[in-house]
Structure 1
Amino acid sequence: MSIERPDTLQDAPLGRVSAYPEHYDAGLLYPIARAANRAPLGIRDDSLPFEGEDEWHAFELSWLDTKGKPVVAVARFRLPASSPNLIESKSWKLYLNSFNQTRFASRDEVIESLERDLSAAAGAPVVTELFGVDDERLTPRRLPGECIDDLDIEIHDYTPSPELLAVGDEVVEETLHSHLLKSNCPVTGQPDWGSVMIRYRGPCLDREGVLRYLVSYRQHQDFHEHCVEHIFTDLMARARPERLLVLARYVRRGGLDISPWRGTPGERPPEPLRLARQ
């Protein structure tokens, strides 16, 4: 199964009034090429400067068993950053809702359908896990490292300003995080709230500068995935760390949360990890 790759948001369901589907329909998925948003950052799909994934949780997934009885589950999807496409979030939600009145013989059949359709839209394999709503593996946790949100600083920049990033001479290995990340949807302008973790080894980052820089995304319009790539590329350019991992956990919206991470080769995020706001 192949899905055409549109290069614009002109026909995307995001920001439009949409009828919710009553029957399973893989054609609802709307892939968006990553390349256009990566080009201004100097990122090429054929030579990515990072490894990573976009991890999604879906909290509004349900289908019917063979007797017509509803089944509910929470899904976790992992979409590789190397895929040529991301998938627009509202189309993903509409697609998942198309399962609501569809009968499946087993959970395995549901997973098979999800992985087939999402992989076709992304252009790369998407890994799917299903959890019961009370599964302990979904218990919220805290981000590792030190929170920098209590720093007493003045802030004047609310669009991405990499010049705010500064480093010292000492080489350190540390993990910092902030819950003050906010960006805006590039189509609807709605706020996207998130937490971000930065784990690195390299010249010591000035923490006040890091916090000012993260807050500078407050009026920026972009997809979650590209915001994380923007942060990663700015940190690499300004600090030149030996190792770097940038992970964002965005607040759930429309039954979905998105948690992209990007890292230098060999860097992996702590797993599993969900926050209370998700």
Structure 2
Amino acid sequence: MPVKSNEGITLLGKNTEYIQYYSPDLLESLPRAYGRDEIDIKPDNLPFSGFDLWTGFELSWLNPRGKPIVAIAEFIIPATSSNLIESKSFKLYLNSFNQSKFDTPDHVSAALKKDLSQAANGQVSVKIYPHLNHYPLLTTSLPGECIDHLDIQIDDYDFNPQYLSDATSGDYVYESLSSNLLKSNCLVTNQPDWGSVVIKYKGNRIDREKLLRYLISFRMHNEFHEQCVERIFNDINHYCRPDKLTVFARYTRRGGLDINPFRSNFEETPEVPRLIRQ
């Protein structure tokens, strides 16, 4: 089902022509308020700071002599921006650079910053690695202790934040927990979104089995990546009441893009390697 944007219906779910020439009008915006209203997050009083880190693995353009240049790009969209960018339109937009000539990588970067900032209604930062130079391509494990080894039986896959109810003990800890079992479904296409998540907190110890059950309960849940991470942050904050909390998810890339939301009430940047699940 198509989703309404400020300009009408998005391209999602339609047979779409792949434009080969620079076309910033392909970008579609979706209000962040659409998902935040459901969990009572107010845009003028966010309980966190953060950003969405997108990695573009299939960026290419032509130099002035028509020779193709390939690159990897990282985009940071602030959580304070009014809009998130619909992912299919983002892919189509990046594809439109393929047969377009740019004098230098800096010119490409400037165009990306301008267009994406306008779409997000916030200042987007861009870093390009032309020729893939200097981009760390090694995949490393998540920081913190992985809780996926817990031997638990699961019979219910409906989303249920009540798993976090009474999930804390009197022990006060500062720890990082991780899981590779986060899976949700796209709100519009119902395509599966596979992710890894790091939860770093300072407060009463969170029961790991209850936390894992909660994360697994996203398995049939339909929501965008950014909304899922904000929901995780909000639910842990509400039920477990830690003094400090960070939630950072890395999702498997699809169509050349990955989306990696970071939300925290005490950190500015995540202590997480670039590539987790590819």
TM-score over 0.5 (shorter chain): yes
Which has the larger displacement, 132-141 or 26-35?
132-141
The 2-side partners of 1:22 and 1:89 are apart by 18
Residue 51 of structure 2 is aligned with which of 53, 72, 79? 53
Match of residue 239 from structure 2: 238
**Alpha-carbon distance in 1 for matches of 2:19, 2:259:** 23
- C-alpha separation in 2, matches of 1:210 and 1:246: 13
Match of 1:137, SS? coil
SS at 1:53 equivalent: strand
The residue matched to 1:249 in structure 2 has which SS? strand
Determine which of 86, 89, 102 is the counterpart of 1:88. 86
Q: Give distance in 1, aligned partners of 2:159 and 2:111.
A: 39
Cα deviations across residues 134-187 of structure 1 (Å, max 9, x unaligned)?
A: 534232222100111110001133232111111111110100000000000111
Distance 1:133 1:214 in 2: 34
Contact kept? 1:245, 1:268, Cα under 8 Å: no
- Is the CA contact (8 Å cut-off) linking 2:246 and 2:266 kept in structure 1? no
1:71 alignment counterpart: 69
Distance 1:107 1:136 in 2: 15
The equivalent residue for 1:44 is 42
Do the aligned partners of 2:246 and 2:267 also contact (CA within 8 Å) in 1?
Answer: no
Could you tell me how far apart the structure 2 residues matched to 1:152 and 1:130 are? 43
The residue that corresponds to 2:16 in the other structure is 18
Identity, % of aligned positions: 51
- State how far apart, in whole Å, the 2-side matches of 1:81 and 1:201 are: 22
Q: Deviations over 1:111-142 (max 9, x none)?
A: 00000000000001111011142534232222
1:260 partner amino acid? P
How far apart are residue 95 of structure 1 and its match?
0.3
Q: How many residues align?
A: 272
What one-letter code is carried by the residue in structure 2 that aligns with 1:33? P
The CA distance in 2 between the partners of 1:119 and 1:13, in whole Å, is: 20
Tell me how far apart the structure 2 counterparts of residues 179 and 238 of structure 1 sit (CA, whole Å).
Answer: 22
Partner of residue 151, structure 1: 150
Aligned to 1:141: 140
1:217 aligns to what SS in structure 2? helix
Partner amino acid for 1:19? Answer: E
Q: Per the alignment, in what secondary structure is the counterpart of residue 77 of structure 1? A: strand
Deviations 1:22-77 (A, max 9, x none): 21110000010010210010101111111011000011100000000000000000
Asked whether 1:207 is paired with 2:205, we answer: no
Determine the C-alpha separation between the residues in 1 that align with 2:135 and 2:268.
26
Cα distance in 1, alignment partners of residues 148 and 104 from structure 2: 46
Does 1:161 pair with 2:163? no
Q: Distance in 2 between matches of 1:268 and 1:60?
A: 25
Query: What are the Cα deviations for residues 90-116 of structure 1, in whole angstroms up to 9, with x where unaligned?
Result: 000000011000000000000000000
What's the RMSD between the two structures over aligned residues?
Answer: 1.5
Q: What is the DSSP-based 3-state SS (H/G/I as helix, E as strand, rest coil) of the residue aligned with 2:173?
A: strand
Q: CA–CA distance in 1 between the matches of 2:99 and 2:39?
A: 43
Matched residues in 2 for 1:144 and 1:271: separation? 7
Could you tell me how far apart the structure 1 residues matched to 2:269 and 2:258 are?
A: 19
Describe the SS at the equivalent of 1:113: helix
